[in-house]
Amino acid sequence: MSENELVSRLKSRDRRALEYLYDHYSGAIYGVINRIVRTESASEEVLQDVFLRIWDRMHDYDPNKGRLFTWMLRIARNQAIDKTRSKELMNERKSKDLDNFVDSTDSATFVEQKTESIGVAEILNDLSAEQKFVVEYLYFKGYSQSELAEEFNIPLGTVKTRLRLAMKELRSLIKVV
């Protein structure tokens, strides 16, 4: 199904289109959520909320402003971040951080564990250390650009340009793989 067709069927509230969307994207979206909220039960909850929101807000989606996945990603990140701000999860996450402290300090291991995928770690290893760092933190560790800038004392503009370069590099790497 082309993206245009998928979008128009979703907008006319075709449930089979939603099923297709779920089958196709729930893994990627769940990955995004899970790397931000970190616990399985909370990730499941957020995933439900995200797909319900996509279904309810389909009329808000404007294809001129970007791809469907980009729009979904935005919703997922926002919902996941909202979830981490809820108090119960903060506590859960804190204790988990202590448990996983050793693992998460080794970022290569962390990404490998979290992605469960063939190739992502290898692809990232082909990036320069600086570029790998921003991609890891922004895409796989649930950091926002401003959090990253603040925590590692990097100017926000630098974070943005580094990501820019990393994405440009990844573009060719992914096409090759």
Partner 1 sequence: MNIEEYISSGVLEAYALGELSPQEMAEVNEHLLKYPALREELKRIEETQEELLMKAAIQPPVSGKAKLFKTIESTGTVRALPLPDNGKTIRWKYAVAASVVLAMVASYFAFDYRGRWLASEENLSELIAQNQQIARDYNNVHNRLEKIESDLQISNDPSFERIVLKGTAAAPDAMASVFWNAETQEVYLSIRNLKSLARENQYQLWAIVDGKPVDAGVFDVSGTNGLLAMKTIRGASAFAVTIEPRGGRTSPTLETMQVIGEVVG
Residues 68-127 that bind partner 1 (CB under 8 A): 69-70, 73-74, 77-78, 114-120, 123
Q: Does 18 bind partner 1 (CB under 8 A)?
A: yes
> Tokens 């300090």 identify what position?
105
Q: Binding residue for partner 1 (CB under 8 A) from 43, 83, 89, 127?
A: 43
Nearest approach, Cβ of residue 148 and partner 1 (Å): 10
Q: Which residues bind partner 1 (CB under 8 A)?
A: 11-13, 15, 18-19, 22-23, 26-28, 30-32, 34, 40, 43-44, 47-48, 51-52, 55-56, 58-59, 64-67, 69-70, 73-74, 77-78, 114-120, 123, 135, 138-140, 144-146, 157, 159-164, 167, 170-171, 174
